[in-house]
């Protein structure tokens, strides 16, 4: 046995335990009895202490020192790149702090859900302030004198910095604002109307998930307050939600999470329970969910197929034909909720959150002032006031979960998706004809072969560039949006 063999055997057990910890989180948001929240916090905290000890174990450092990366093949070198990077971050964070963060964020989920239901940000603010303080402390340890927010962001999008993201947002914002203004000056299309049975929505959601390639032999679908995907390899689970007056909430939440899940299911099985056996970054992950949901799921061709499926499931939809349905699916409208935002305005929601959390990380914005800052920025960006906390600062679970640095990866994922879609149009002849028949195999197969199978083998921007044949930029996304919505609204 070599040092590399010993290291990878140790790593495999760590990855297995991490999957178990993830399952605790999945259960917490889907099936756990509400009264178990405090105990679950202890359980997750205990698991985090075990994982942190393994990820910073002295023998791990000894193996890393003994291994000559240049003597390994491409896969071995990639494994070492990811293990070394993770180890360097982990050893800087005290185990007690890591366990404290796990416990506090576990309990915070229930408090966030209660605060959201009761429109009570003031009641949630103390625990959020504790989370922000803990994450700033952790970020300072990892940054080791560098930028704290960059350290947070790097945990989700390796190699990215706050300055780079800000520059990208500055390039995106003018085009998005101009398009939004032009579209909102036009008459809104008809909306789908009716009462849509929750059970029927879940049946259709399952069918759509299968159409997009989700393997139920290695997954399942449940309901949660905030839809998510969890797990990797042979156990990848998704959740969605239903609303009796809005079936699109369920259908497109499902398609979005299937994008995440099929990325994990599509990774080369040889990488299972290793650092390569999961999505390489959250930006790349989001590129899969967004291209599934938007460029494919909201395309004219696919909407024509979906219209027939929804008519079969629910009867009259309140729109006259397939084209009217397509326009209803892509309606640009005033609204508060990020997850329900149209393609034109979605990134504006992300820019708001990015600026606020970056200021909190730098100590420029205190949690006590967050709701006021959110509401002021929203009114500035969208032109109307927030009506209640659940439509504003309390709408997302991310900060309650301690996920500071996560939000900008959503917009980065949209940028990557724009690039991938441009390349897909060349790589999948007859794509629209396939989508119109409800056949996603060409599109999802192209993504699996060109990006998903690689897992963590390549760096985030590199895997996108390899798939596309050109360096990622915001230009394809803006071009796609301008063309699509000029056509939709007759601009």
Residues 6+ away with beta carbon under 8 Å from 241: 223, 224, 225, 226, 227, 249, 250, 253
Query: Judging by DSSP bridges, how do beta strands 229-232 and 235-240 pair with one another?
Result: antiparallel
**Element at 17 (helix H, strand E):** helix 3-30
Q: Tokens at residue 132, please?
A: 């922000």
Residues 6+ away with beta carbon under 8 Å from 449: none
Write the CA distances from 316 to 225, 313, 321, 328, integer angstroms. Answer: 28, 9, 10, 14
DSSP letters for 368-414: GGHHHHHHHHHHHHHSS---SGGGTTTS-STTTTT-TT-THHHHHHH
Phi, psi of 326 (to 5 degrees): -55, -45
Residue 185 is classified by DSSP as T
Sequence-distant contacts of 22-25: CB under 8 A, at least 24 apart:
22/230, 22/231, 23/230, 23/231, 23/235, 25/106, 25/230
Q: In whole angstroms, give the CA distance from residue 330 to residue 158.
A: 33
Q: Tokens at residue 161, please?
A: 């910095």
Query: Judging by DSSP bridges, how do beta strands 235-240 and 221-223 pair with one another?
Result: parallel
Q: Tokens at residue 85, please?
A: 């990077």
Active site residue 323: no
Write the CA distances from 415 to 48, 283, 343, 383, 451, integer angstroms. Answer: 33, 9, 12, 25, 15
CA angle 9, 18, 157 (to 5 degrees): 100
What are the helix (H) ranges across 267-401? 282-290, 300-314, 322-329, 343-361, 370-382
Q: Which of 257, 264, 357, 371 is catalytic?
A: 257
Catalytic amino acids? 257
């Amino acid at each position: 046995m070599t040092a590399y063999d010993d290291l990878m055997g140790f790593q495999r057990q760590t990855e297995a335990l991490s999957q178990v910890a993830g399952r605790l989180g999945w259960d917490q948001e889907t099936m756990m009895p509400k009264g178990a929240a405090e105990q679950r916090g202890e359980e997750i905290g205990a698991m985090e202490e075990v994982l942190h000890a393994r990820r910073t174990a002295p023998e791990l450092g000894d193996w890393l020192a003994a291994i000559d990366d240049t003597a390994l093949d491409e896969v071995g070198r990639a494994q070492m790149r990811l293990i070394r990077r993770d180890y360097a971050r982990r050893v800087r964070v005290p185990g007690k702090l890591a366990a404290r963060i796990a416990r506090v964020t576990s309990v915070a989920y229930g408090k966030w859900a209660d605060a959201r239901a009761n429109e009570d940000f003031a009641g949630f603010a103390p625990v959020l302030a504790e989370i922000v303080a803990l994450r700033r402390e952790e970020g300072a340890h990892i940054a080791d004198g560098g930028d704290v927010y960059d350290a947070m962001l790097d945990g989700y999008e390796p190699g990215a910095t706050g300055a780079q993201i800000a520059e990208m947002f500055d390039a995106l914002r003018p085009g998005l604002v101009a398009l939004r203004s032009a579209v909102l000056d036009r008459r809104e299309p008809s909306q789908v109307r009716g009462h849509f049975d929750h059970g029927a929505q879940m049946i259709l959601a399952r069918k759509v998930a299968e159409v997009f390639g989700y393997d139920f032999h290695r997954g399942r679908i449940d309901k949660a307050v905030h839809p998510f995907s969890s797990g990797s390899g042979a156990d990848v689970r998704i959740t969605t939600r239903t609303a009796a007056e809005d079936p699109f909430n369920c259908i497109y939440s499902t398609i979005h999470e299937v994008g995440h899940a099929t990325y994990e299911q599509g990774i080369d099985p040889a990488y299972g329970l290793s650092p390569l056996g999961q999505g390489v970054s959250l930006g790349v992950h989001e590129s899969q969910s967004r291209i599934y949901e938007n460029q494919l799921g909201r395309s004219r061709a696919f909407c024509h197929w979906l219209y027939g499926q929804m008519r079969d499931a629910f009867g009259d939809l309140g729109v006259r034909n397939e084209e009217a349905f397509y326009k209803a699916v892509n309606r640009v409208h005033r609204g508060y909720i990020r997850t329900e935002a149209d393609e034109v305005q979605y990134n504006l929601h992300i820019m708001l959150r990015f600026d606020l959390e970056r200021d909190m990380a730098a100590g420029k914005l205190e949690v006590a002032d967050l709701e006021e800052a959110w509401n002021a920025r929203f009114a500035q960006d969208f032109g109307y006031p927030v009506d209640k906390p659940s439509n504003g600062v309390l709408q997302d679970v991310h900060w309650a979960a301690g996920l500071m640095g996560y939000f900008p990866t959503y917009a980065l994922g949209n940028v990557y998706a724009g690039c991938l879609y441009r390349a897909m149009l060349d790589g999948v002849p007859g794509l629209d004809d396939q989508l119109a028949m409800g056949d996603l195999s060409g599109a999802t197969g192209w993504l699996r072969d060109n990006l998903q199978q690689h897992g963590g083998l390549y760096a985030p921007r590199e895997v996108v560039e390899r798939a596309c044949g050109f360096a990622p930029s915001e230009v394809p996304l803006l071009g796609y949006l301008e063309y699509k919505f000029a056509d939709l609204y007759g601009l």
